[in-house]
Structure 1
Amino acid sequence: MASETEIEWMRLTFAELNARAAEGAIVIVPVASLEQHGPHLATGVDILCATAVAQRTARRLAAAGRPVVVMPCVWTGLAEHHVAFGGTVTLDFSTFSALLKGVVRSAARAGFRRVMLLNGHGGNAEAVAVVAGECQVELGIAVAAGTYWHLVGDGFAPILERQSTVLHACEAETSMVMALMPAAVRPGRLAEAHGPHSTRPEGQPAAMIRRRSFREMTESGVIGDARSASAAKGEALLETASTIIAEELSRERLWT
């Protein structure tokens, strides 16, 4: 039956989801943002990439016999640092936290006991981790959290030419969008799609977090250099991410 191979929550019936819950399925919740991505990319980059990584990861898990289901993407998050460019939607932390908790709580009430908040926006990273921890205490289920390129570690470095991991509207993100939705790329603006390779001013330690408006750091809205992006790189990045993350989520020790 088609429902046995379907991994998207919204495409399954309540009875089919009840069966997945009874099997101990992992629920993957992609979490993203709707925000500026330079002169060459549409604003939905994080939604596209987080959803694609989540779904490809789930398909790998399902192919290995691991029950899994993917929620629709939580499409907005914490993006105040992009607002000055325009085209950005952002929430405050209390609203974002309440939204994520409502999603996880709903999964728990539907019988699921294992949830992965798979983040695809740098500005959400710390918040998603905090929410996951609070959900575990409040709901008594296993809730993991991680940003997909952090979970990949150095796995992206061999694929990229001008950077080692995901930055912003960069070689990596542009390549993935080229692979996923070419119409969301403006090729005529790629020549402008470059900027500094860090959001930290000189002297700020890597371990110190202080958010600044991207307007203060990059004229283009880009961190990194998208000019060497390609669809082939994007496909390789997506496959690498889904392979590594599926391996991580398959480890029973994570959930016990």
Structure 2
Amino acid sequence: MSADETPQGYSIFRDTMADMTFPEIARAAERRAVVLWGLGVIEQHGPHLPLGTDVYMPSELLRRVRRLLAERGIDSVIMPPFYWGVNQVSGAFPGTFVVRPEIVIELIVDLIKSLKKDSFARLFCISGHGDALHNRTVHAGIARGADEAAIAAYFVGAPSFFARVGIAADDPHILPTHSEVERPSRYFDVHAGKFETSSMWAAYPGLVRDELLPALRSTDFGVEDISEWRKGGDHARAKTPQGYLGDPAASDREFGETMMAQHAELVAAAIAAQVGAAR
């Protein structure tokens, strides 16, 4: 059953600390539960996906990760998602909210300190947004928050992800997965294209404007195209006037479900290995 077909709807607070009481939070900390945190943004995702896509997807992923960790005997709680972030690439589009990096860092630091105040000791973060500046900013906030709060905090992701956004492979505050979900494509498909649309369609079918998909032509971008797009602002709007980069018409719900399951297993395995090593 998909998230938006349950009686609880598709609230981003579903299954998070926001729906728990304070005694329940205290007991979770006493049990040494680890904290899972998804960090996304509100930005345009073409004519067919909602602005909250980068928040909805990590929220769904972490619900799956939590179940997989429970199967391994690891208790966890999900922190309410972070959704105000840096949008260097898509900032010129309507509906995209832009926050200065220094503000994002300060907010992340304060939120991590709140976890420490409640006696949580380990935090694992994932990103739902691909913008390089955003992810470097998130990493800076996690690293500073971990140091100032004296908490073990990690940014979890694929090795290729950290390499692309410019975070060193030996950084003490990252936790690379042992492999990554394969996303074969002849052209770049990185924003509201086949892969992202397929995953959203699998998890939140009621939020995908699937009737629009057949008319959305593939952008067929090569290296020079994506380099121009990543300059952001008017460059991004000129390169992708409809707001997507990839081939959303090729989306498939079953394929999206497969990708989500694989991604959740990779993240859960990385966390489980780190938790086991720390015991």
Say yes or no: TM over 0.5. Answer: yes
- Once residues 164 and 236 of structure 1 are traced to their aligned partners in structure 2, the CA distance between those partners, rounded to angstroms, is 21
Give the aligned residue type for 2:88.
Answer: E
Mean Cα displacement is larger for which, 24-33 or 10-19?
10-19
* Residues 247/186 of structure 1: CA separation in 2 closer, same or farther (3 Å cut): same
Using the TM superposition, give the Cα deviation of residue 42 of structure 1 relative to its aligned residue in structure 2, in angstroms. 1.4
- Match for 1:132 among 136, 139, 142? 142
> Could you list the runs of 5+ residues in structure 2 that have no partner in the other structure?
1-13, 162-175
- Once residues 129 and 64 of structure 2 are traced to their aligned partners in structure 1, the CA distance between those partners, rounded to angstroms, is 18
- Once residues 189 and 41 of structure 2 are traced to their aligned partners in structure 1, the CA distance between those partners, rounded to angstroms, is 15
CA contact (8 A) 1:31 1:118 kept: yes
* Residues 254/211 of structure 1: CA separation in 2 closer, same or farther (3 Å cut): farther
- Match for 1:90 among 76, 83, 98? 98
SS at match of 2:124: strand
Which residue is 2:216 aligned to?
192
* Residues 82/33 of structure 1: CA separation in 2 closer, same or farther (3 Å cut): same
Verify: 1:47 aligned to 2:55, yes or no.
Answer: yes
CA contact (8 A) 2:37 2:79 kept: yes
Using the TM superposition, give the Cα deviation of residue 100 of structure 1 relative to its aligned residue in structure 2, in angstroms. 1.3
Deviations along 1:13-51, whole A, 9 cap, x unmatched?
222222221222111111101111112211111111011
Which residue is 1:201 aligned to?
224
- Match for 2:154 among 126, 144, 151? 144
Using the TM superposition, give the Cα deviation of residue 197 of structure 1 relative to its aligned residue in structure 2, in angstroms. 4.0
CA contact (8 A) 1:46 1:120 kept: yes
Alignment of 1:242-253 (within 5 A): 242-251=264-273, 252=275
Using the TM superposition, give the Cα deviation of residue 61 of structure 1 relative to its aligned residue in structure 2, in angstroms. 0.6
- Once residues 27 and 127 of structure 2 are traced to their aligned partners in structure 1, the CA distance between those partners, rounded to angstroms, is 26
Alignment of 1:1-256 (within 5 A): 8-123=16-131, 124-147=134-157, 150=161, 155-157=180-182, 160=183, 162=185, 167-190=190-213, 191-192=215-216, 194-197=218-221, 201=224, 211-213=231-233, 214-251=236-273, 252=275, 255=278
CA contact (8 A) 2:40 2:54 kept: yes
Using the TM superposition, give the Cα deviation of residue 94 of structure 1 relative to its aligned residue in structure 2, in angstroms. 1.4
Using the TM superposition, give the Cα deviation of residue 57 of structure 1 relative to its aligned residue in structure 2, in angstroms. 0.6
Mean Cα displacement is larger for which, 133-142 or 242-251?
133-142
CA contact (8 A) 2:192 2:245 kept: yes
Using the TM superposition, give the Cα deviation of residue 188 of structure 1 relative to its aligned residue in structure 2, in angstroms. 3.1
CA contact (8 A) 1:193 1:222 kept: no
- Once residues 179 and 23 of structure 1 are traced to their aligned partners in structure 2, the CA distance between those partners, rounded to angstroms, is 33
Give the aligned residue type for 1:126.
Answer: R
SS at match of 1:241: helix
Q: Aligned pairs, how many? A: 243
Give the aligned residue type for 2:112.
Answer: V
Q: Percent identity?
A: 24
SS at match of 1:30: strand
Using the TM superposition, give the Cα deviation of residue 84 of structure 1 relative to its aligned residue in structure 2, in angstroms. 1.8
